[in-house]
A and B are shown apart, each in its own frame.
Chain A
Amino acid sequence: MLEFRTAGFNPYSTKYSPFHDSRLAVSAGANFGLVGNGRLYILNLTPNGIACEKYFETQDCLFDTAWSEQHENQLLTAGGDGSLKLFDLGVAGAFPVAGWQEHGREVFSVHWGLVEKGQFLSSSWDGTVKIWTPERKESLVTLPVHSCVYSAQFSPHHPAIVTCVSRDSHLRVYDLRTKASAQNHLTLAVPIHAPPKLPVPGYGQGSVGPSECLTHDWNKYRDSVLATAGVDGVIRTFDLRNPSGPVNLLPGHEYAVRKISWSPHLSDVLLSASYDMTCRVWTDGSNVEKGGNGAGFGRELGRMDAHTEFAMGVDWCLFGAEGWCATCAWDERVLVWDVREYMRPA
């Protein structure tokens, strides 16, 4: 396990570069992001450990960051002052090369288009998701959600599909090909707290109350599958072909789940970071070779509890062996580790 200390700043998010296997970005804020400055770290994995290649200071906390998919040196940040900033590592100086200010409140997530790589999106506490292109000053599309949006993503399989989860416990799916009628491209709104179709052992039947949904992620292999997680500590998987409720529930986290990420290597494995200070590896039971038969029960595969404060961000390394990941937490540490070392028998 490698470690880097972001002294004086509490990390919120970490992302591996899609271009370099040794480059990592961490967005952080002082005073746990409540008040004070923000900082964006660019870290390099070296044989001697993790070294900071560069960092950028910002006026307000940086809640999220996303690497550009079309330019290896550029990355985007989501600011607590409602701003989006594009930084370029190849440009000398401490300032971003582009910035956008439309959101009225804290921007909480940014995501770069994985198919249409000239676009990115942002989601904010002002209840909107905005889609942008780096070449334009104004946003291309604004998707009103009317609820605090904690996480929004492009589908990794289709350029026109955008999803978001929000405070009102709904997973919304937008199809940008549809007309911007009264629906504003909204095509699906899935209640996250709905009971599952099939009963899940260890989890009571019937509907639980709605709870804030803090994060979601698209499965990288199955193009209709997503996972969501939030304040109730339960990770749920959804299949958009059956949008009435969750397919699987993965209970186990004691407190709210802050971030989840599907593995880029294995179609059934996901990683989570939680306010219970642990990062856990899960399978949703869909792996046929493991006897899941495509619809098995999910379970926890392993747990890493080296963090000593709320765990905030996780990301998988796209390169090399399939277990490497990076996590960050409010203990001012970024850990790079191999999930295979933390697996435990069923």
Chain B
Amino acid sequence: MADALCGPTNPLQHFKQQTSLDRTLQQDRLTSRLSPAQGFRSHDPNAGLLDPEFEAFQAGLPASDLPQYQPFQPHQQPFFAGPSQAPSWAQDFQQLQISPSPLQQQQYPSQSGPSTAGWAQGFRQHVPQSAPRSQHTSSPSPMAFQQRARMGYGGFQSQFTPQSSYAPNVHQSKGKEPVYEQFDDVAFEQAFAQAREEIMDEVEDKSSMQEDLDTVHDQLFNVIQNEQEAIFSPEEQAQTEEQRAHDEQDALAATAQELLSKVDDNKSDKFRNSQFLGLMRKLRDREVRVEGDKMVETVSSTLLKPAFTHTPSHDSTYASGTSTPMSWDSAHFDTHICNTSGCDVDHAYDHWESPATTESSTLNAPSTKTMPIFDNSEQRPSPLAAPAASRPLVDTRPPDYGHDDDADWGRIDPRDGQGVRDLLTEMGGGTVQHDEIGTSTIAASTPNNDNDNMPSAVEGEPPFYADLRAMHGPRTESASLSEMLYGHDGTLERPVVWSSRDQSPTREQLERGYVRKDIRQRMH
């Protein structure tokens, strides 16, 4: 796994980059050269001394057969106490007993690691405590923020941790056969991951202590966090994952703060009203967190808001005070029938846009005050949204918006775009017809709707179905072309997944997704 050369860094990462550099060119030259032991300048004083040991190692003899350097063994043993599931090359090195020179012995502290590689501990002693927080030193820029946000904390993400299935494989030495064990990149990287985990654990301890002193708000957040962990993730593994995610959010918040401080002196309206900077503020205040590939508002912001009186049943799991974030999950966007008696509100909209559901509102939802000249977002009808005869006016603004001057009550009327809808129903039986490149065929010949003369979004944007083959059948017309371009192995046609990466979306979900995006557009 290549690591980005930009974004957050720490010394461990630098070290790893050095080890993973492509040195094949240099290595080519090195192999053709004579070995340095054969009369080049500096001669290793241990060279001759180690030869019999290495011979013994190659012959598969136990090291105890070489009695002359026994006194050093206790010091050496912990240093190479690797993980129990260490790969074979590491096992070999455990067998290899090399007599150290006195100089070497001073350098390496004899310390026994309980679970992870001992060398990592030694390495950690050389790396000062500044390691994980050193990202503050890199130059703050919008780009740097983006890199951090995309990379997560420290650049090592859990998705990149290698598979750990190494059976202890003791090398069977056959006489003088050269021991050319292949260097195991994966194992090497795993060792790095372990070392980093240890560092992270320390930092987590420290940072959580600091946070306790921080603010009441943070304490509350932590309590909720811990409660949720206790309830939902009893396994320790999950807990550390949660901790790491939490730490990642911390780093993100710090970076957002850094970015905001850079533009702090800019008092222009543009910067004050910027959605992106608003998002940065929310990240800084931890009102927003990154969950997988989504950004969700945390429950901590909901706690500060007045509770909404009507909580429909389908939201009840999320309204129970846990911090389980609700995101743009298509499962929650159905135009359901509300179970609450006396509720006749069209829930396709208002559970998203009412102030009580901040925990489930997305980031792409701040209201923009300026109506664009060419606003196609208002014109797309939702195929599933039944127009209600009389709807209460809803406030579409985020609850913490704070400006009263731009109230836009009732802007999302389901009658919006009704003209287009009627037109389409009239023309094509309620669906937009598309030719093979996706252009709407009604669009070209039909005059536009009554609202304005701009082309509507319906013309240009087909309803999105991730897998068009469901409608059109298997793709045949491009078979030869795609064969030529190596697109035939199936990887290219993997459907794009929105909400969960595990399952491919069903048709029904996609239709809901269409509604979902429609709502999102309307919230702008």
Q: Could you tell me the distance in whole angstroms from the C-beta of B507 to the nearest C-beta in chain A? A: 14
| Choice from B142, B293, B372 contacting A275 with Cβ under 8 Å | B142
Contacts of A85 in B (CB 8 A): 492
Interface 1/0s, chain A 244-270, versus B by CB < 8 A?
Answer: 000000000011100000000000000
Q: Is the CB of A32 within 8 A of B276?
A: yes
- With the chains together, A48 CA to B444 CA distance in Å? 11
C-alpha gap A126/B376 in the complex (Å)? 38
Check if B26 is an interface residue, CB within 8 A of chain A: yes
Task: State in angstroms the CA–CA spacing of A55 and B273 once bound together.
Answer: 29
> B478 interface residue, CB < 8 Å from A?
yes
CA distance A309 to B492 in the complex (A): 33
Contact (Cβ within 8 A) A126 B279: no
Contact of A255 among B3, B22, B263 (CB under 8 A): B263
B149 at interface (Cβ–Cβ under 8 A)?
A: yes
Cβ–Cβ contact A32 & B497, under 8 A: no
A80 to B150, CA, bound (A): 9
Q: Which of A8, A58, A80 is close to B496, meaning CB atoms less than 8 Å apart?
A: A58
Q: 8 Å CB contacts to A: which residues of B45-62?
A: none
Residues of chain A within 8 A (CB-CB) of B290 are 34-35
B520 at the interface (CB under 8 A from A): yes
Question: Are A92's CB and B437's CB within 8 A?
Answer: yes
CA A86 to CA B373, docked complex, whole Å: 33
Would A105 and B455 be within 8 Å (CB), given that A8-B521, A98-B485, A98-B492 are in contact?
no
A141 at the interface (CB under 8 A from B): no
Number of residues on chain A facing chain B (CB within 8 A): 80
A134, A308, A330: the one contacting B485 at CB < 8 Å is A134
Query: Of A8, A134, A147, which is within 8 A of B5 by CB?
Result: A147
Q: Measured between alpha carbons, how far is A226 from B453 in the docked complex, in Å?
A: 43
Could you say which residues of chain A place their CB within 8 Å of the CB of B4?
Answer: 104-106, 125-127, 148
The yes or no answer to A90 lying at the interface (CB within 8 A) is: yes
Tell me the bound Cα distance from A1 to B436 in angstroms: 30
Please state if A31 and B372 are interface contacts (CB–CB under 8 Å). Answer: no
User: CB-CB contacts of B466-495 with A at 8 A, as 1s and 0s?
Assistant: 111100100101100110111100011111
Tell me the dominant secondary structure on chain B's binding face.
Answer: loop
A330 pairs with B143, CB closer than 8 A: no
Chain A residue numbers with a CB within 8 Å of B375 are 5
| B80-88, B89-97, B418-426, B456-464 - interface stretch | B456-464
Bound Cα distance from A53 to B439, whole angstroms? 5
Mark out the residues of chain B between 161 and 198 whose CB falls within 8 Å of any chain A CB in the assembled complex.
none
Other-chain contact of B478, A59, A88, A184 (Cβ < 8 Å): A88
Would A254 and B141 be within 8 Å (CB), given that A95-B493, A126-B4 are in contact?
no
Report the minimal beta-carbon distance from A196 to chain B, rounded to whole angstroms: 22
Question: Complex formed: what's the CA distance from A106 to B2 in Å?
Answer: 11
A35 to B459, CA, bound (A): 29
Q: Name the 9 nearest CB pairs between A and B, nearest first.
A: A104-B2, A148-B6, A52-B460, A98-B485, A127-B5, A54-B438, A125-B4, A91-B478, A126-B2
Complex A-B: 6 CB contacts under 8 Å: A34-B295, A37-B498, A46-B455, A60-B293, A125-B7, A146-B21
Known: A31-B295, A90-B437, A308-B274. 8 other contacts (CB 8 A): A35-B149, A35-B294, A37-B293, A37-B498, A93-B472, A125-B6, A134-B485, A309-B274
